[in-house]
Structure 1
Amino acid sequence: MRFKHRYFLCELVLEDPRQRHVITQGTVYHNVKEIVARLHGDFGVAAVSVALSVKYLNAYTGIIFIRSLKNYHKILGSSLPFITSLENRGQRYPCFINTLHIAGTIRSCQRFLIQYNREQLDRLLRNCTNPSEKENIRQSIVSCTLKSVEESEFTEDEEME
């Protein structure tokens, strides 16, 4: 039997963005489990814990991929907005987690993220006043393709071997 999953593409917004490097995948995992337990009790945490994992966390951009079972993804999705801070080694970091997209595969989340970043760059382009800033943002928009992401992941995998 195959287990179906749902992937949450989330954005971690910290009150002080300089503290992003302190947040780890384990920190997010334990805080998510804690909020699910507080909101949905023993059943909620047991249902979500079966396949809950933080697949990816980018400390620079604050992007997070969280995996859950398809049958219980609504429990996880209803709990994420209630995270107001993350606790790591006795320190509390005020934040919130913004869910950008929910999909059945990581690949579709990546496609959405590329499109989302392209739209954000377009917004920045409209607000630019300096011609050199506009050119830098245009170059970023041009380089924002799925093919370049796949190639960079492929080269990283080769370097690891």
Structure 2
Amino acid sequence: MVRCKSRYLLCEVNMPNRNSLLPLREGAIAQALREAVARAHVKYLNALTGMVFLRCLKSYYRLIWSALPFITSISIDNRGQKVPCFLNCLHVGGTIRTCQKFLIRYNTQQLHRMLPQCKSEEERQEIRQAILSTTNLSYKRPEKASDDEVESDEGEE
């Protein structure tokens, strides 16, 4: 039998008014931690397509990747309503730009798969137009980009 090693972080909750600690619950700490992780790691979410970009340090991407199958539901509102789901990792890239390029190729492939299933000529035309719009995108880099606009993954280890 293999022993599973754990690490524990001992943290102190500091508030200006100590009486504010009385109604504090474990769930509130867990929710605050989840929100902080979401702010730090979720870079883009498209609710219409269900695509999300997650950002993490290069040395930790396998840890995040291995945790994805354990996400079985997502809370969609503040009332705690959960929807069953799963996350499928389509691509691992070094920059947002490479992920965007992969997403364009992936969407084009999906549209080509949808084309034979169209029932009317109008649907076919819409999908053909969508294919053309994804293939006509240009990747011109701004000539003078500030440090805030250019994102680099070098040195993230």
TM-score class, shorter-chain normalisation, is 0.5 to 0.7
Higher RCO (CA 8 Å, separation ≥ 6 residues): 1
Shift of 1:129: 3.0
Write the deviation string for residues 98-125 of structure 1: whole angstroms up to 9, x where unpaired: 1111100000000000000000000111
Q: What residue is the counterpart of 2:124 in the other structure?
A: 134
Shift of 1:134: 1.1
Contact persistence 1:121–1:137 (CA under 8 A): yes
Between Structure 1 and Structure 2, the one with more helix by share is 1
Tell me the amino acid that sits aligned with residue 114 of structure 2: L
Write the deviation string for residues 67-117 of structure 1: whole angstroms up to 9, x where unpaired: 011011111100001100113422222111111111000000000000000
Tell me the amino acid that sits aligned with residue 147 of structure 1: L
Between Structure 1 and Structure 2, the one with more strand by share is 1
Is 1:119 the counterpart of 2:109? The answer is: yes
| Identity %, equivalent residues | 49
Q: What residue is the counterpart of 1:30 in the other structure?
A: 34
Tell me the amino acid that sits aligned with residue 83 of structure 2: Y
Q: What residue is the counterpart of 2:133 in the other structure?
A: 143
Q: What residue is the counterpart of 1:78 in the other structure?
A: 66
Structure 2 SS opposite 1:147: coil
Gaps (5+ residues) in structure 2? 1-30, 141-157
Contact persistence 1:118–1:141 (CA under 8 A): yes
TM-score between both structures, scaled by the size of structure 1: 0.58
CA separation in 1, counterparts of 2:61 and 2:99?
A: 15
* Root mean square deviation, CA, Å: 2.8
Aligned length: 107
Write the deviation string for residues 132-161 of structure 1: whole angstroms up to 9, x where unpaired: 2111111111111362687xxxxxxxxxxx
Tell me the amino acid that sits aligned with residue 63 of structure 1: M
Tell me the amino acid that sits aligned with residue 81 of structure 1: P
Matches within 5 A, 1:9-158: 30=34, 52-87=40-75, 88-89=77-78, 90-145=80-135, 147=137
